[in-house]
Amino acid sequence: MSQVPKIVQQRMIEALEMGRGLAARDFPEAELMGEAGALGSSVLFGDFVDLLLLQWGDLDNQNAAANAICEGFKRNSHREAFIHAVDALVEADINDFAPFAKALDSRAGDGSTSMHIRVEAVAGLTRLALRSSRWTTYAGAGVLRLLDEEDDWVKAKLCRLTSILHDQLAWDQAVESLKTLTSCTACAAEARQELGFVEMSAAFQSDNLLSMVAHLAQSATWFEQCARFAEDAPRARMYGVVAGALSKSLNGDLTAALDVGELGNDAQWVVNYGPPRAGASWLAPPVEAELEWIPLLAPHDGSAAVDPFSLFASAVQVFEKVRAVQVTINGKREYRAPSFSTLTERARAMGLGRTWLGNPTASNLSSEGRARLEAVFRPPGASPGKH
């Protein structure tokens, strides 16, 4: 038996070095569990978790396997292996995540562990919360534990996790947590950018126009602060312009033209030179999402008065894509968008309708048909014929 651990690990290493995937049939439960302790603390921890979860339904002793995985989460110090293990866990077809959530919670609170690992533990808890909101409290507690830690540079990811908890899971301490993070030198720009997104999300969750306008104005302010704070912040510049234009147009300023050329340049830069950080690919929107700003906002270049509802519809349409996060359950990947209020959905529908009425495709409408649609899409309080 003393040779089994070496044989198992060596076979795994050889397969990986040769570019072959690790097949569950080649690493049965008995062999993996025979070397559980060593694998759990090694660079092969992620592969170990992957192989166990692939054969989860056929395991003879799921409790022992779960305990081995949890022990790895509590003590593995290899960041890439830890991330791999979290990826495998949150995408697994299993019913009870409780022991794993508790293990990740324990690691997130372990002051003797590096911030690199602790923030990945919080990321794991956040991803579990996206699968089941019962874990939101754990994820939020993980964020709060790390706010005052000294290793600022790894907190940029913590900023994004915090905004996810706000947008997707309605965590009520997200805004204050992000404001705290603005005082951390290495993530001050990131915290301000995420506050801009959080305020934009809050605007789209508002049930009255005044609140929506106020949130959008605050969003623009945070984005502008981020752009001033960072040496180069194309994403913040882009969204600051959009949020500011939305706020002004909904407040009655119909001259809020956008610099479409500059927006296009920033969008291209973000797509081409802003890849996700290690372990953050699940946070990235579909590749083409940011580029959709260009055609959707092109009509608002100042050549004509800005229709606030058309601009609003375009912005919401792109926002729900760029702020979506990947959730994979039982092998099926989906992009989960933030929730919107009834007011936002109605305003978006109105804007899309008004945009369509201004397109050549609507030229074949009869006068009566156009009049009826204009009445449907007329903003509250507008005079007949104004659209």
Q: Residue 306 — pLDDT band, cuts 50, 70, 90?
A: low
Q: Which residues pair with 27 in a beta bridge?
A: none
Percent of the chain with pLDDT over 90: 50
- Residue 199 to residues 99, 309, 344, 362: CA-CA distances in angstroms? 35, 19, 14, 35
Q: What ranges do the domains of the chain cover?
A: 187-377
Give the pLDDT confidence score for residue 375 in this predicted structure: 59
More confident residue, 165 or 151: 165
pLDDT (mean) for 60-85: 97
pLDDT (mean) for 347-363: 73
Tell me which of 256-265, 343-352, 359-368 is least confident: 359-368
Q: Are 246 and 311 in contact (CB under 8 A)?
A: yes
**CA 370 to CA 211: how far, in whole Å?**
32
**CA 324 to CA 260: how far, in whole Å?**
24
More confident residue, 48 or 362: 48
Q: Are 246 and 315 in contact (CB under 8 A)?
A: yes
254 by DSSP, 3-state: which?
A: coil
Could you report the per-residue pLDDT of 191-231, keeping only the tens digit for each?
A: 999 999 999 999 999 999 999 999 999 999 999 999 988 87
Q: Are 104 and 73 in contact (CB under 8 A)?
A: yes
Q: What DSSP state is assigned to residue 301?
A: S
Percent of the chain with pLDDT over 70: 85
Summary mean pLDDT of the chain: 85
**Segment (H or E) for 321:** helix 308-322
Q: Residue 374 — pLDDT band, cuts 50, 70, 90?
A: low
**CA 299 to CA 107: how far, in whole Å?**
50
Residue among 311, 308, 309, 339 nearest 323 (CA): 339
Amino acid identity of 101? A
Tell me which of 168-182, 271-285, 343-357 is least confident: 271-285
Give the pLDDT confidence score for residue 82 in this predicted structure: 98
Tell me which of 18-32, 189-203, 217-231, 373-387 is least confident: 373-387
pLDDT higher than threshold 60 for residue 379: no
Give the pLDDT confidence score for residue 263 in this predicted structure: 77
Q: Are 302 and 349 in contact (CB under 8 A)?
A: no
Q: Which residues pair with 85 in a beta bridge?
A: none
**CA 192 to CA 222: how far, in whole Å?**
5
Could you report the per-residue pLDDT of 91-115, keeping only the tens digit for each?
A: 998 989 999 999 999 999 999 999 9
pLDDT higher than threshold 60 for residue 381: no
Q: Which residues pair with 328 in a beta bridge?
A: 333
Q: Are 94 and 292 in contact (CB under 8 A)?
A: no
- For the chain, report the end-to-end CA distance as a whole number of angstroms: 80
- Residue 379 to residues 53, 254, 349, 363, 366: CA-CA distances in angstroms? 54, 14, 11, 21, 22
